[in-house]
Amino acid sequence: MKKEHILIKFRPEATIENFIDNTNSPEPLRLNDEGTDIKLTFNAVNCDIVNKLIGDITSNATGYGKINIKMIKLCCPYILRYITHILNHCIAHSTYPSQWKHAIIKPIPKVKNPIEFKDLRPISLLPVLSKLFEKIIFTQLLSYLNEHNILPEVRSGFRNNEKIPILNQAKSLGIIMDNSFRFKDQISNYISRAYQNLRKIFPHRSSLNIETKKRLCEAFVLSQFNYCVPVYHAALDNVTSGRIKKVQNSCLRYVYEIRKYDHISHKFVDSGWLSMENRRILQTSCLHQNIIKYKHLPYLYNKITFRTDCAALHAPPVCVQRYST
């Protein structure tokens, strides 16, 4: 793109028009259902509340009207009651001055060298009094929503200084996710249940043949790790993967009645089992195959990028010349 075209495209008029055209109008908030007696009313404020709200404004940007918060704070002892009167008049008469509806739009580049409108982020510099009025309405509106329990519990944003608790782990659909997404607690539960089941079938090892013991291990021990394999497979570290491998080694010792510290590598081939890592790869690959072939899960299929879609594959081959020294 030529530099002259960039300058024409980023003219103030064109930039503001682009920001306005790409602004989505919010849906109206419906607070009162038909037939309810709960009504929302806004109350007048006193000078102390307005003075506190003025102190809470930290941005010194000059908006429409050429008055910044620093000027308001300097003159506050003399004009505070007049500002309070203006704000209360707007609340009492349900009016919003037209001068407060203007803002200075300042485009902030998202990248080092912006060349398109999408590389800019619009910042609105509002009048100081409109910020004060907004804080008053916001405080009373939030108090109303909390008092009548209108906001859903899962809505965490725009709360009144409520800190969201940070959890070390969370459980969803039977999977325990830790804050590092290593699923260590989940794997520990798998291993614990696997060893419990192995201890239950261990006393009968002498009365069962090898094939029966292999089936028991598959059904009651190794099957503990089959749930949600595609979720945790790629997140396992070497230590956790080694712990899972030890469970399979214990099953081999049970099947072939091998003592604890004796080698079992030669029996692993005889068992015909896949290693635990290869079992996870097989299950994950089967899921990918079903998604690609049958498209049963469109939301996952649409996230797959095929090699034929990559432009780099169609690039001409690179010729490399070798020079002898």
Asked whether residue 22 carries a pLDDT value surpassing 90, the answer given is: no
Q: What tokens does 239 get?
A: 């230590």
Give residue 211's pLDDT.
Answer: 94
Contact residues for 288 (Cβ-Cβ < 8 A; gap 6+): none
Q: 3-state DSSP call for residue 289?
A: helix
Between residues 40 and 10, the one the model is more confident about? 40
Asked whether residue 158 carries a pLDDT value surpassing 70, the answer given is: no
Give residue 82's pLDDT.
Answer: 93
Which region among 78-92, 138-152, 197-211 has the lowest average model confidence (pLDDT)? 138-152
Instruction: Tell me the H-state helices in the chain.
Output: 3-9, 12-21, 47-56, 69-93, 128-147, 184-201, 210-220, 229-232, 238-256, 265-271, 276-294, 298-301
Average per-residue pLDDT in the chain?
82
Which region among 198-207, 221-230, 312-321 has the lowest average model confidence (pLDDT)? 312-321
Identify the CA nearest to 103 among candidates 63, 55, 144.
63
Give residue 227's pLDDT.
Answer: 93
CA 197 to each of CA 147, 194, 201, 214, 223: distance values in angstroms, whole numbers, following the listed order:
52, 5, 7, 13, 11
Give residue 157's pLDDT.
Answer: 64
Helix (H) or strand (E) run with residue 168 in it: none
Percent of the chain surpassing pLDDT 90: 41
Q: What tokens does 161 get?
A: 């200084």
pLDDT digits (tens, 9 = 90+) for 84-130: 999 999 999 989 999 888 888 888 888 888 888 888 888 888 899 99
Give residue 4's pLDDT.
Answer: 44
Contact yes or no for 100/36 (Cβ under 8 A): no
Contact residues for 104 (Cβ-Cβ < 8 A; gap 6+): 63, 64, 124, 125
Q: What tokens does 65 get?
A: 């009207």
Which region among 143-152, 203-212, 289-298 has the lowest average model confidence (pLDDT)? 143-152
Asked whether residue 252 carries a pLDDT value surpassing 80, the answer given is: yes
Rounded-to-integer distance, Cα 146 and Cα 164, Å: 16
Rounded-to-integer distance, Cα 277 and Cα 246, Å: 12
Largest CA distance in the chain: 97
Contact yes or no for 226/283 (Cβ under 8 A): yes
Q: How many CB atoms lie within 10 A of CB 318?
A: 5
Contact residues for 217 (Cβ-Cβ < 8 A; gap 6+): 198, 201, 251, 254, 255
Rounded-to-integer distance, Cα 107 and Cα 112, Å: 13
pTM above 0.75, yes or no: no
> Tokens 């049963």 appear where?
296
Give residue 322's pLDDT.
Answer: 44
pLDDT band at 179 (very low <50, low <70, confident <90, very high): confident
Give residue 35's pLDDT.
Answer: 47
Give residue 191's pLDDT.
Answer: 96
